[in-house]
Each structure stands twice: as structure tokens, then as C-alpha cells.
Amino acid sequence: MNYIDNAVNHYRALLEAQLARAERMEHAAPPKDFTTLEKVTIGVIDGDGIGPIISEQSMRVLEALLKDEIAAGRVELKRIEGLTIENRQAVGEAVPKAVLEAVKRCDVLLKGPTETPKGGTLESANVALRRELDLYANVRPVSVPAEGVDWTFFRENTEGEYVLGSQGIEVPGKLWMDFKVTTLPGTRRIARAAFEFAKKNGKTRVSIITKANIMKKTDGAFSAICHEIAAEYPDIEVDEWYIDIATAKLIDPKTRSRFQVFVLPNLYGDIITDEAAQMQGGVGTAGSANLGDQYAMFEAIHGSAPRMIETGRGAYANPASLMRAAAMLLRHIARPEAAARLEAALDATPNDGMTAADFTDAVLRHIGG
């Protein structure tokens, strides 16, 4: 059998799997209501590189903020071991089965950064978790009050270039192809999440970001579906930008303050939110929420920073980004007062070359824990 026959059979299997996934989305269970749960289980995953350092410090903060509920059995913090690059490579799985089983026994996750090897076939742990837990909305807030910037990005999290990122086709030495996926139910739910957020939070504009003039099938469908959902929210203004000019407009002082809420496909969202976070002070300052109807995962948007570990500077890793994610986690599980206390403490605690432990000590003093 030649390369083309192999590729056709491979593509057929991918297409069947994605159609089945779209069908499952159409019949998903209703969202979990955290206000009705007798107990919330928070899983904490260390990750790689600086992950264990910033995860340990973030746990200290959560333990202080939730100590009464932990003591009463209403909240449990559960450390989940095994999502390390060494273990994933040893078993050849992006998320080892035992780890995934432990994750699914939790309601929400606070996750340190994990490393993804370049090349090969080992999938990103983040991509695998988003798919396995159906965490379809990546929500990233960015705020720079002095610049009039108050943005919230709704990045589609389970489709686009990432869903089949490790399953492309290769003709050795000649050709390589990867695939991009857009589905009707997948796009509808991320669009609705963005517009519902805007409606509930007094936002008046949602910006759709695509490259529909070039990616006519996938981005074209994403654009059309978002506009279909937008019609249900007549009080919210809608505009659309191509990703290339949108990245420029974010750094344009004349226009950036007009943006409020963004909805965009996976890869574009990954790139542009890092740019936005840099305006806020760097990716080390930004948290990220990965939301689904049954599970949610909260993490920093930066990577595992292996160079810091290699050069012996790991103790100075800044845990603020993961603590920002922890504040988002607290809001998601209906603990807004605790979230507000943490956010206020982080705002009041500059990190001027402190160790992660010293920074956390300062945050805890502001919290009063």
C-alpha cells in the first residue's frame, strides 16, 4: 500500500472520530452547578520544571483561604502525582491512565506547567486533558487600568489545529500535513460562552477573531456560527478582525481600549493572549481558566521554564500567575469572597526578585492567613 492509500485510510479514521465527537457534544449532560455540591474536590498537579515550586506555594494560599471549609469537609485539596515528562515518556501517554482516573475524581484542577517535547508523537498533556475533560473554553483575562485595557479572551480549546496536532500525515523526506478542525456544536458553545459572559458582566462589545479570508472552510464556519449566536444578543455590539491586524491593534493606543471580549479559534487564541499578557507585565502575571460543563482546569499561561531549573534559579520562580489562576478557580466554585481577597493581596504584592516562598509569605500577610 502506498503513502496516499495510507493517508486516505488515516484521514478516514480521523474524520469518523471527529464526527463522533461532534455527535457527543450535541448530547452533552447539563453543566455542573457548584453551588449545590456538598463537597468540592480540588486536584493539584505539580507539572514539570518550576511547576512543583509554584504549585506548592499556590497550595499554601488555597489552604489559608479555605481552611475553615477544609476543616469542615466541604472542600478537599488533593495532590495528583504522575503528570511529569519523565512518566509520560516512560509510558508513552500524554496523560497516563492512572493520572486521568485521579483527575476525573476531582471537580476542578489547579495545574502547574507541563513540558511537551518537540517533534515525536507524544501529545501535549494540556491538549489531552482539554479533550478528555471536554474543557472547551479557555478564558484569559488581561487588565492594564492605566492603558484602559480590560479584556477577556474566550479561546476555543478543543478544536482548531490542536485537536489533531499529533496525528498529521508524513511522506518521509517529502511532505508533511497537519489538520484543522471546526465543528458546529464546538463553535456554538464557545461563542455562547463569550456572549453570556459579556451579558452577565455588563460588556457591550464582542470581537470575533479569524483568518476567514484565507482559511475559508474552518475559519469561515467559525465566523458564520459566531455571528449566528451574536444575533441572539442584540444589545451587544459585534465586530470582526483578522488575526494579523488584531495583533497589531492590541498594541495601538488609539484603538485597544475599545476591545472588551474576544472569541477566537484555538491557535490564534494561544498566540494573541500571550501578547496581551505581555502588556500586563508578562506571561508570569496571567492566569488561565479551561472550562467545561463537568470539569474545569486552572493554570498559568507560561511554560515550565526548564532553564530556571538548569541554572539553579528555580526558587525564584514567580507563582503569581498560578495564584491568579487559583483566584479564577475560587470564583468558578462559587467562593467569590475568597477570590477577591486573593486578587487584592496579589495586587498589593509586587515581586521584586523575591523567592517564590517569600512572595507567598507576603501574599499571606495581606490575606491575613
Q: What is the mean pLDDT of residues 146-166?
A: 91
Question: Does the residue 142 lie in any domain?
Answer: no
Tens-place pLDDT, residues 251-292: 999 989 999 999 999 999 999 998 998 888 777 667 789 999
Question: Does the residue 181 lie in any domain?
Answer: yes
Q: Torsion angle of alpha carbons 355, 359, 334, 290, nearest 10°?
A: -30
Question: Does the residue 119 lie in any domain?
Answer: yes
Has residue 369 got a pLDDT over 70? Answer: no
Q: What percent of the chain has pLDDT over 70?
A: 99
Question: Does the residue 112 lie in any domain?
Answer: yes
Question: Does the residue 255 lie in any domain?
Answer: no
SS3 205: strand
Has residue 349 got a pLDDT over 80? Answer: yes
Residue 116 pLDDT level (bands cut at 50, 70, 90): confident
Question: Does the residue 257 lie in any domain?
Answer: no
Paired sense of beta strands 175-177 and 169-171, if any: antiparallel
Residue ranges making up the domain that contains 117: 3-137+154-201+282-367
Tens-place pLDDT, residues 205-251: 999 999 999 999 999 999 999 999 999 999 999 999 999 999 999 99
The predicted pLDDT at position 1 comes to 60
Q: What is the CATH number of the domain that holds 320?
A: 3.40.718.10
Number of structural domains the chain divides into: 1
Q: What distance in Å separates the CA atoms of residue 362 and residue 354, rounded to the nearest whole number?
A: 10
Tens-place pLDDT, residues 164-207: 887 899 899 899 999 999 999 999 999 999 999 999 999 999 99
Question: Does the residue 276 lie in any domain?
Answer: no
Question: Does the residue 313 lie in any domain?
Answer: yes
In the predicted model, what is the mean pLDDT of the chain? 93
CA 148 to chain centre: 24
The predicted pLDDT at position 35 comes to 86
Give yes or no for a contact between 360 and 95, defined as CB atoms under 8 angstroms apart: no
